[in-house]
Amino acid sequence: MSDRPTILCLASYFKGTRFLEACNEAGAKVILITREKLAHEPWPHHALAERFLLPSLHTQPDLTYAISYLARTRSFARIVALDEYDTLPVAMLREHLRIPGMGETTGRFFRDKLAMRVRAQERGLAVPAFVHALNQTAIQHFLDGVAAPWVLKPRTEASAMGIKLLHSPEDVWHTLEQLGDRRAYFLLEEFLPGTVFHVDGLVSNKKVQFATVSAYGRPPLNVYQDGGVFVTRTVSDSQIKAPLLDWHQTLVDAFGFVDGVTHAEFIHNEADGRYYFLEVAARVGGAGIDLLVEAATGVNPWVAWAQLEVARAAGTTCTFPALDSKHAGLLVCLARQQNPDLGAFNAPEVTAHVSKPYHAGLVLASDDENRLSTVLELYTQRFAEEFLTTRPPLDKAPE
């Protein structure tokens, strides 16, 4: 078995266990790099050939030295970023070690909200009006021409962290003043009220192999800032699905994405009825969205992605399974209980639990859309009563 290709995986958060297991099952030798702080998480040790711990995956040149040191005696066929925060460090390592896969220029489009805005606009995709929160004249011009409110958002955070809704030019200037030199790491954009959709895809050789379209029950910013149960469900209306699937392929083309998974978001603007590109990441959707996709299609995106990476590493072709098409829904909330008891949520539509300390989460699937709606609404209500708690929003990801 000495010719098993080696896949190096970086994870600065505890996630991707299905990916690690599927890589191992598909015949790769899997090496995991994670943070010391996450040493005791339940990583799938049976699937790992080796595991190394670092204090941080984002401190340079330490990361480059550490991975280059390993590469003295190991040959990495692929390097994979399991978490969104690892996308750019991994792109840099690929370039440094000349390992195939997404490089730094493309990686930026999947990580930096300003880069993705600029490129999407250049390629004719509708985006909210925006400006880099840097040049005084450009910001004043934006404030004069675009109606309030505006969102000030960090270019490289996730999960709605650090996003501020601002209502007056004074608010904007004051907030920028407080950011000091950090303001160049932000962009300012038009606030578009409306439903937020997400498209979760798997791309092979620049073509979308499969993608699901889902709609968040309430926009993620509202859930993050005001609390409540996070709900998302697959969309069956082809009038919504078809344009969003088209857009997703257009994004893949515009951003030069070749192989891997995508999680793209779009806003349906209530004011003009049009769709606007919100953001895209080269990762599996968080908060249990992988289980939503699995419930709807029968395919878990972590597993399909692992099979694709191993095929690329081994130089073989990858075949993708036929997909189911069920209606699926996901609900997750912060829970008062460390291990909430979901025993009473036993409708036949329940396909999976999202297990994480101090969270309650369930996935539902059905062939009958009305039935799915009924159970989803009922359970959302019961989650709010039995489990729901809130936590103050953060400005950035905790170290």
Ligand X SMILES: Nc1ncnc2c1ncn2[C@@H]1O[C@H](COP(=O)(O)OP(=O)(O)O)[C@@H](O)[C@H]1O
Residues forming the site for ligand X (CB under 6 A): 113, 128, 151, 153, 157-161, 163, 189-192, 196, 219-221, 265, 267, 278-279
The string of DSSP letters for 27-48 reads T-EEEEEEEGGGTTS---GGG-
Please, which residue, 21 or 265, has the CB nearer to Mg ion? 265
Residues 282-321 that bind Mg ion (CB under 5 A): none
**Distance (Å, whole) CA 50 – CA 347:** 41
Chain position carrying tokens 């190394």:
52
* Partner that binds at residue 134, options ligand X, Mg ion, none, CB closer than 5 to 8 Å by kind: none
* Partner that binds at residue 131, options ligand X, Mg ion, none, CB closer than 5 to 8 Å by kind: none
Beta bridge partners of 105: none
Residue 324 near residue 297, CB atoms below 8 Å: yes
Please, which residue, 43 or 110, has the CB nearer to ligand X? 110
The distance of closest approach from Cβ of residue 263 to ligand X in the complex, given in angstroms and rounded to an integer, is 9
The distance of closest approach from Cβ of residue 160 to Mg ion in the complex, given in angstroms and rounded to an integer, is 7
Please, which residue, 26 or 223, has the CB nearer to ligand X? 223
**Cα–chain center distance at 218:** 17
CB atoms within 10 A of CB 196: 20
The distance of closest approach from Cβ of residue 291 to ligand X in the complex, given in angstroms and rounded to an integer, is 19
The distance of closest approach from Cβ of residue 281 to Mg ion in the complex, given in angstroms and rounded to an integer, is 8
Please, which residue, 112 or 265, has the CB nearer to Mg ion? 265
Please, which residue, 18 or 283, has the CB nearer to ligand X? 283
Please, which residue, 83 or 265, has the CB nearer to Mg ion? 265
Extract the runs of DSSP E, i.e. beta strands, from the chain.
Answer: 6-11, 29-35, 50-54, 76-81, 130-132, 150-154, 164-166, 186-190, 194-204, 207-216, 230-234, 260-269, 275-281, 327-334, 350-353, 359-366
Q: Which of 177, 223, 222 is nearest to 331 (CA)?
A: 223
Please, which residue, 143 or 213, has the CB nearer to Mg ion? 213
The distance of closest approach from Cβ of residue 276 to ligand X in the complex, given in angstroms and rounded to an integer, is 8
* Partner that binds at residue 49, options Mg ion, ligand X, none, CB closer than 5 to 8 Å by kind: none
Q: Per 3-state DSSP, what percentage of the chain is helix, strand, and coil (rounded to 5)?
A: 35, 25, 35
* Partner that binds at residue 312, options ligand X, Mg ion, none, CB closer than 5 to 8 Å by kind: none
* Partner that binds at residue 92, options ligand X, Mg ion, none, CB closer than 5 to 8 Å by kind: none
* Partner that binds at residue 350, options ligand X, Mg ion, none, CB closer than 5 to 8 Å by kind: none
* Partner that binds at residue 386, options ligand X, Mg ion, none, CB closer than 5 to 8 Å by kind: none
Residues 243-272 that bind Mg ion (CB under 5 A): 265
* Partner that binds at residue 157, options Mg ion, ligand X, none, CB closer than 5 to 8 Å by kind: ligand X
Pair of tokens at residue 398: 């905790």
Cis peptide before 149 (omega within 30 of 0): yes
Please, which residue, 108 or 113, has the CB nearer to ligand X? 113
- Show Cβ contacts of residue 24 under 8 Å, excluding neighbours closer than 6 positions: 30, 44, 46, 47, 48
Residue 289 near residue 216, CB atoms below 8 Å: no
The distance of closest approach from Cβ of residue 162 to ligand X in the complex, given in angstroms and rounded to an integer, is 8
The distance of closest approach from Cβ of residue 218 to ligand X in the complex, given in angstroms and rounded to an integer, is 8
Pair of tokens at residue 200: 């979760």
The distance of closest approach from Cβ of residue 238 to Mg ion in the complex, given in angstroms and rounded to an integer, is 24
> What size, in residues, is the chain?
399
Which residues of the chain form contacts with Mg ion (CB under 5 A)? Answer: 265
